[in-house]
Amino acid sequence: MSDERFILKNARHLAARYMEDILREGDVAVDATMGNGGDTAFLCKLVGETGHVYAFDVQQEALDRTAARLEEAGMRSRATLILAGHETMRDHVPVSPRVVMFNLGWLPGAAHIVTTRTETTMRAVQAALELVQPDGFVSICVYPGHEEGTRERGALDDGVYDAMAQEYLNIRKKPPLLIAVTKR
């Protein structure tokens, strides 16, 4: 038993926990929002040498940062980095992944102009749900602290799949929440 059992973790930690539970060596995973590559590297580690990660971002900067990070960790060959919107996922991911991971919002440490957008996010989540294996799942970290994040959160409420939101009730601070979605 871990001492950490009763500590409330934030949405990103919860998503990571689910990934650790579900991903096995040799699996295929998708990182729908590469950013600085933190999640891409984490997924690469979990799928191991025989697995593969497809990662998306619309900013070249994100691909560069992620490539450097993977290179440094000796895992560059485990990932395909794609400069395209995650809503085009169907065109780029040739196999059915076990998981698709979204971390919405903007690139940490860059201009806040390029944020994920509700309309494309919803198309991407739909594509992700079609693509994932029947026993797989989709995780979405949503940030209702900004306007577009609030819209994304509202849109995700209407999904036709089994979706569970885990969020702090400290509404005033609007902390990120995790939405975990499985196929019905």
Note the residues at the interface with ligand SAH (CB under 6 A): 33, 35-36, 38-39, 56-59, 62, 85-87, 103, 105-108, 114, 116, 120
Q: Shortest Cβ distance from residue 3 to ligand SAH (Å)?
A: 26
Of 120 and 182, which has the nearer Cβ to ligand SAH? 120
Of 2 and 60, which has the nearer Cβ to ligand SAH? 60
Q: Shortest Cβ distance from residue 1 to ligand SAH (Å)?
A: 29
Pairing relationship of beta strands 99-103 and 137-142 according to DSSP bridges: parallel
Of 51 and 176, which has the nearer Cβ to ligand SAH? 176
Q: Shortest Cβ distance from residue 53 to ligand SAH (Å)?
A: 12
27 vs 103: CA distance, rounded Å: 20
The two structure tokens encoding residue 171? 């509404």
Contact 35, 131 (CB under 8 A): no
DSSP per position, 77-90: GGEEEEES-GGGHH
Q: Shortest Cβ distance from residue 138 to ligand SAH (Å)?
A: 14
Of 103 and 139, which has the nearer Cβ to ligand SAH? 103
Q: Which residue is nearest to ligand SAH (CB)?
A: 35
Q: Shortest Cβ distance from residue 32 to ligand SAH (Å)?
A: 6
Give CB contacts under 8 A, 24+ apart, made by 127-131.
127/86, 127/87, 127/89, 127/90, 128/30, 128/32, 128/86, 128/89, 128/100, 128/102, 129/161, 129/181, 129/183, 130/90, 131/30, 131/89, 131/90, 131/93, 131/96, 131/97, 131/100
Of 36 and 139, which has the nearer Cβ to ligand SAH? 36
